[in-house]
């Protein structure tokens, strides 16, 4: 028998060695793929197979400082398509036709979207409930409905620039809704399903439901009533004077809380697309203007703080003053003659203020300009704040110092000026202006509390108080007489400033008029500013246009706050009346709301028992009691007593979820009808029913 040659056997052994090596290399390669790159590859593979369906979160509610709703979310159904599923049913045409009919859309366009290579297509967002019912009943394959929430601003144009707008994707686009979008918007949820390559869900696939996190609710510093008053006055001056734009801000000087903020022209955030985009500009914080004489408040503060003047310092005004080669004059070059510092403020004498500016000096002037926050943003929690413009220090000439001292050359925003003047009203302490007081979750728990923030002690308390008195003189005797309000001590300053035209020169025919002031001047509760850009008509002066609006705002706010007038017989009488207070109806209100009602009326509360809802109250609603008297409220026990009697609360204007929660807490059953906000209920509010009764509530969509 012939045996295999040695060479052949050697070669076979060599070959086996080569193959072994080859397999080891292959094994290493696979090992590398599976271990070194495994995590990355499997993640990518998973992403590749996942199909997302978004689940919208509900935007948080925006309340005013007293818990009144300024922005809410209402839900509506949206129609979407999963094109692959539609195509699989083979009824693309039919589906397109049916949907086009119901939704009033173009059939061919719809057909194209239904057959697109895409895993998910929105057909129409936020449709009417009847249509959503029709579509639901047709059970079209590949067509689905999902509840989406939509922003609704129940007060319409009120505080539109503050609240902002929200787009269809439930994101804030402007205002508070934009600035706090991360907080208010919540987090979108997702339904993730693993699909095969032709878009069918895989059997035993990975399903993930990431529930949406609803947005947090904001409690603003805005007071709806004050906002309303402010807007009413602003509207009037804006319309009467056919102004280009206008703004008004009311601020609490002690805390920096903005009580009202409004700009004109305005818009309705529910239908913002019907208005010019320019209407959405928030003049109060987005735009700068040359403040004019209102700026003299800060100049005066600097001079007093630096002790270059005192109340009795004398100035002489021949009608004009020369600064270098330039001449600066008082209006119409009318001489004011000899006057004290306090009188210079009352008369708003330019010549005197040029002299005061010169006494302060360039270095000190800029030190205080900076300290008062000019030329930089205040940091208010609204988007797009302008920084203002100051003459660069290194370029500033004597003439710049002179004009800056009387309020020209620098440009400020209304929010900057009111923040600076608030320092004067608040014993020299400048507070950071802010819009949001608290962030609360859906259970009423406070997530975040925004504390007043001191920016700087700009001037000493004594100087601030002294200046307050002088500014009061401006209103009683000076240019601000139109702001004088009987029974209250008001301090303030008018401003009428020239505008810089497009050519860089001052315009002869357009002015910015303004009034800034605070009251009561001995203990300021509020600072307010009214700015009107390019008003028309006669008497284009801050004292004649802005001051009256300011006065009306302060008058009504003080009535609303029930701030007593000082020293007059009639006033005493009024006070007596005011001090008898109507007890509000608290039954069935949540505790927090009840407490805020009691506090806002100057009453005290005594709480008995525990629970969330007021069960009964003593004295009864509508009885009259003394200011500061006690209202006893009994909280409903968690478990209502057997056969217990329940007073049906007023549900009007509440959403289904809220109604459901309120009734559930009371142990009542809800039979809802319709969708949107409650407008009718049976039995009616105030009726007493037994535990477990059925309450029928009709809802209707808002804005329709």
Partner 1 sequence: MRLKKGPPDFILFITVMALLGIGLVMVFSSSFYTTYVQYGDDYYYFKKQLMWAILGILALIVLMKLNYLRIKDLAIPLIVLVVICLILVIPLGTEAKGAVRSLGVGSIRFSPSELAKLAMVLFLAKTMEINLDNIKSFAKGILPFLGLLVLICGLIMLQPDLGTSFVVAGTIFFMLLVAGARWSHLTVIAFSGIAAVAVAIAIAPYRMIRFIAFLDPWKYAQTDGFQTIQSLYALGSGGLFGMGLGMSRQKFFYLPEQHTDFIFAILGEELGFIGVFVVLALFLLFAWRGFRIAIKAPDTFGSLLAAGITVMITFQAAINIAVVAGALPVTGITLPFISYGGTSLLFTLAGVGLLLNISRYSN
- Which residues does the annotation mark as catalytic? 293
Residues, the chain: 704
Q: How deeply is 505 buried, as exposed, middle or buried, from its count of CB atoms within 10 A (0-12, 13-18, 19+)?
A: exposed
Is 40 or 274 the residue whose CB approaches partner 1 more closely? 40
Strand-pair category, 604-608 with 630-635: parallel
Answer yes or no: are the C-beta atoms of 373 and 164 closer than 8 Å.
Answer: no
Selected range binding partner 1 among 9-17, 214-222, 263-271, 610-618, rule: CB under 8 A? 9-17
| Minimum gap (Å) between residue 15 Cβ and partner 1 | 6
Q: Check binding of 19 to partner 1 (CB under 8 A).
A: yes
Selected range binding partner 1 among 30-38, 178-186, 393-401, 594-602, rule: CB under 8 A? 30-38
Q: How many CB atoms sit inside 10 A of residue 689's CB?
A: 15
Strand-pair category, 245-252 with 526-533: antiparallel
Selected range binding partner 1 among 14-22, 285-293, 296-304, 434-442, rule: CB under 8 A? 14-22
| Minimum gap (Å) between residue 38 Cβ and partner 1 | 5
Q: How far apart are CA 230 and CA 68, in angstroms?
A: 17
Is 31 or 566 the residue whose CB approaches partner 1 more closely? 31
Q: Check binding of 4 to partner 1 (CB under 8 A).
A: yes
| Minimum gap (Å) between residue 47 Cβ and partner 1 | 10
| Minimum gap (Å) between residue 122 Cβ and partner 1 | 25
Is 48 or 608 the residue whose CB approaches partner 1 more closely? 48
Q: Check binding of 5 to partner 1 (CB under 8 A).
A: yes
Q: Check binding of 443 to partner 1 (CB under 8 A).
A: no
Is 44 or 314 the residue whose CB approaches partner 1 more closely? 44
Q: Check binding of 664 to partner 1 (CB under 8 A).
A: no
Strand-pair category, 669-674 with 694-700: parallel
Answer yes or no: are the C-beta atoms of 565 and 500 closer than 8 Å.
Answer: no
172 to 216, 309, 376: CA distances (angstroms): 13, 50, 25
Q: How many CB atoms sit inside 10 A of residue 667's CB?
A: 17
**Strand runs labelled E in 296-403:** 314-317, 320-323, 326-329, 337-340
655: part of which helix (H) or strand (E)?
none
Size, binding site for partner 1 by CB under 8 A: 45
Please provide residue 140's backbone torsions phi and psi, each rounded to the nearest 5 degrees: -75, 135
Q: How far apart are CA 682 and CA 680, in angstroms?
A: 7
Using CB under 8 A as the criterion, what x/- string covers residues 200-219 for binding partner 1? x-xxx---------------
Is 201 or 384 the residue whose CB approaches partner 1 more closely? 201
Question: How are strands ordered across the β-sheet holding 669-674?
Answer: 669-674, 694-700, 677-682
Please name which of 45, 47, 43 lies closest in space to residue 192, comparing C-alpha atoms.
Answer: 47
Is 24 or 664 the residue whose CB approaches partner 1 more closely? 24
Q: Check binding of 26 to partner 1 (CB under 8 A).
A: yes
| Minimum gap (Å) between residue 389 Cβ and partner 1 | 51
| Minimum gap (Å) between residue 118 Cβ and partner 1 | 15
| Minimum gap (Å) between residue 144 Cβ and partner 1 | 22
Q: Check binding of 34 to partner 1 (CB under 8 A).
A: yes
Q: Check binding of 13 to partner 1 (CB under 8 A).
A: yes
Is 13 or 507 the residue whose CB approaches partner 1 more closely? 13
Q: What DSSP character marks residue 104?
A: T
Please name which of 556, 558, 534 lies closest in space to residue 545, comparing C-alpha atoms.
Answer: 534
Q: Check binding of 20 to partner 1 (CB under 8 A).
A: yes
The full 3-state SS of 547-596, as one line of letters, equals HHHHHHHHHHHHHHHCCCCCCCHHHHHHHHHHHEEECCCCCCCEHHHHHH
| Minimum gap (Å) between residue 83 Cβ and partner 1 | 16
Interaction residues for partner 1, span 36-65 (CB under 8 A): 37-38, 40-42, 44-46, 48-49
Q: Check binding of 27 to partner 1 (CB under 8 A).
A: yes
598 to 259, 577, 698: CA distances (angstroms): 20, 18, 30
Q: How far apart are CA 671 and CA 686, in angstroms?
A: 18
Q: Check binding of 447 to partner 1 (CB under 8 A).
A: no
| Minimum gap (Å) between residue 115 Cβ and partner 1 | 19
Answer yes or no: are the C-beta atoms of 226 and 493 closer than 8 Å.
Answer: no
Selected range binding partner 1 among 32-40, 259-267, 383-391, 435-443, rule: CB under 8 A? 32-40
Give the pair of three-digit tokens for residue 373: 């926050």
Is 4 or 278 the residue whose CB approaches partner 1 more closely? 4
Spatial CB neighbours of 43, under 8 Å, sequence gap ≥ 6: none
Q: How many CB atoms sit inside 10 A of residue 698's CB?
A: 15
| Minimum gap (Å) between residue 23 Cβ and partner 1 | 5
Please provide residue 361's backbone torsions phi and psi, each rounded to the nearest 5 degrees: 90, 155
Q: How far apart are CA 593 and CA 603, in angstroms?
A: 14
Using CB under 8 A as the criterion, what x/- string covers residues 391-430 for binding partner 1? ----------------------------------------
Is 46 or 688 the residue whose CB approaches partner 1 more closely? 46
Is 40 or 139 the residue whose CB approaches partner 1 more closely? 40
Using CB under 8 A as the criterion, what x/- string covers residues 168-207 for binding partner 1? --------------------------xxxxx-x-xxx---
Q: Check binding of 23 to partner 1 (CB under 8 A).
A: yes
Q: Check binding of 138 to partner 1 (CB under 8 A).
A: no
Q: How far apart are CA 440 and CA 453, in angstroms?
A: 20
For the chain, the C-alpha Rg in angstroms (whole number) is 34
Please provide residue 656's backbone torsions phi and psi, each rounded to the nearest 5 degrees: -55, -45
Q: Check binding of 30 to partner 1 (CB under 8 A).
A: yes
- The binding site for partner 1 (CB under 8 A) comprises 1-5, 7-9, 11-16, 19-20, 22-23, 26-27, 29-31, 33-35, 37-38, 40-42, 44-46, 48-49, 194-198, 200, 202-204
């Amino acid at each position: 028998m012939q045996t295999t040659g040695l060479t052949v056997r050697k070669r076979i052994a060599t070959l086996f060695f080569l193959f072994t090596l080859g397999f080891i290399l292959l094994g290493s390669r696979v090992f590398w793929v599976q271990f070194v790159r495994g995590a990355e590859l499997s993640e990518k593979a998973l992403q590749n197979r996942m199909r997302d369906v978004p689940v919208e979160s509900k935007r948080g509610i925006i309340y005013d400082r007293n818990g009144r709703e300024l922005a809410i979310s209402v839900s509506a159904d949206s129609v979407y398509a999963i094109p692959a599923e539609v195509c699989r049913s083979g009824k693309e045409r039919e589906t397109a036709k049916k949907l086009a009919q119901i939704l009033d859309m173009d059939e061919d366009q719809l057909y194209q979207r239904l057959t697109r290579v895409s895993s998910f297509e929105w057909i129409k967002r936020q449709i009417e409930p009847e249509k959503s019912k029709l579509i639901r009943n047709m059970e079209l394959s590949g067509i689905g409905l999902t509840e989406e929430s939509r922003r609704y601003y129940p007060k319409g144009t009120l505080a539109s620039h503050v609240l902002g707008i929200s787009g269809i994707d439930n994101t804030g686009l402007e205002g508070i809704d934009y600035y706090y979008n991360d907080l208010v918007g919540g987090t979108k949820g997702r339904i993730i399903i693993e699909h095969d390559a032709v878009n069918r869900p895989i059997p035993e696939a990975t399903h993930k439901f990431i529930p949406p996190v609803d947005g947090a609710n904001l409690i603003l510093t805005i007071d709806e009533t004050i906002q309303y008053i402010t807007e009413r006055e602003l509207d009037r001056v804006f319309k009467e004077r056919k102004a280009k734009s206008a703004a008004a801000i009311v601020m609490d000087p002690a805390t920096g809380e903005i009580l009202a903020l409004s700009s004109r022209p305005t818009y309705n955030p529910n239908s913002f697309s019907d208005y010019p985009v320019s209407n959405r500009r928030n003049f109060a914080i987005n735009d700068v203007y040359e403040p004019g004489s209102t700026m003299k408040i800060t100049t005066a503060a600097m001079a007093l703080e630096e002790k270059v003047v005192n109340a009795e310092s004398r100035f002489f005004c021949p009608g004009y003053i020369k600064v270098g080669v330039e001449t600066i004059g008082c209006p119409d070059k009318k001489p004011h003659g000899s006057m004290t510092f306090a009188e210079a403020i009352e008369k708003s004498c330019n010549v005197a203020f040029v002299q005061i500016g010169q006494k302060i000096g360039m270095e000190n002037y800029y030190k205080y300009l900076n300290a008062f926050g000019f030329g930089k943003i205040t940091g208010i929690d609204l988007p797009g704040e302008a920084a203002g413009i100051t003459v660069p220090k290194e370029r500033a000439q004597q003439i710049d110092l002179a004009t800056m001292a009387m309020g020209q050359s620098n440009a400020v925003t209304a929010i900057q000026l009111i923040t600076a003047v608030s320092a004067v009203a608040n014993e020299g302490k400048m507070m950071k202006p802010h819009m949001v007081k608290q962030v609360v979750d859906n259970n009423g728990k406070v997530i975040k509390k925004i504390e007043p923030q001191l920016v700087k002690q700009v001037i000493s308390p004594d100087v601030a108080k002294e200046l307050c008195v002088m500014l009061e003189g401006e209103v009683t005797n000076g240019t601000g007489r139109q702001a004088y309000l009987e029974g209250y001590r008001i301090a303030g300053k008018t401003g009428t400033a020239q505008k810089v035209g497009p050519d860089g020169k001052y315009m002869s025919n357009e002015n910015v008029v303004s009034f800034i002031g605070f009251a009561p001047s001995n203990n300021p509760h509020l600072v307010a500013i009214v700015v009107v850009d390019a008003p028309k008509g006669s008497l284009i002066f801050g004292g004649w246009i802005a001051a009256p609006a300011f006065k009306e705002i302060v008058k009504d706010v003080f009535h609303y706050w029930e701030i007593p007038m000082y020293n007059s017989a009639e006033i005493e009488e009024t006070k007596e009346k005011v001090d008898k207070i109507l007890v509000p109806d608290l039954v069935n209100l949540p505790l927090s709301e009840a407490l805020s009602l009691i506090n806002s009326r100057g009453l005290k509360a005594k709480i008995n028992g525990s629970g969330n809802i007021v069960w009964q109250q003593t004295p009864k609603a509508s009885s009259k009691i003394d200011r500061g008297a006690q209202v006893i409220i009994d909280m409903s026990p968690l478990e209502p007593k057997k056969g217990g009697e329940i007073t049906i609360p007023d549900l009007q204007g509440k959403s289904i979820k809220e109604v459901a929660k309120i009734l559930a807490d009371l142990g009542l059953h809800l039979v809802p009808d319709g969708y949107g906000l409650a407008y009718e209920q049976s039995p009616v509010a105030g009726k007493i029913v037994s535990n477990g009764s059925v309450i029928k509530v009709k809802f209707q969509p808002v804005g329709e």
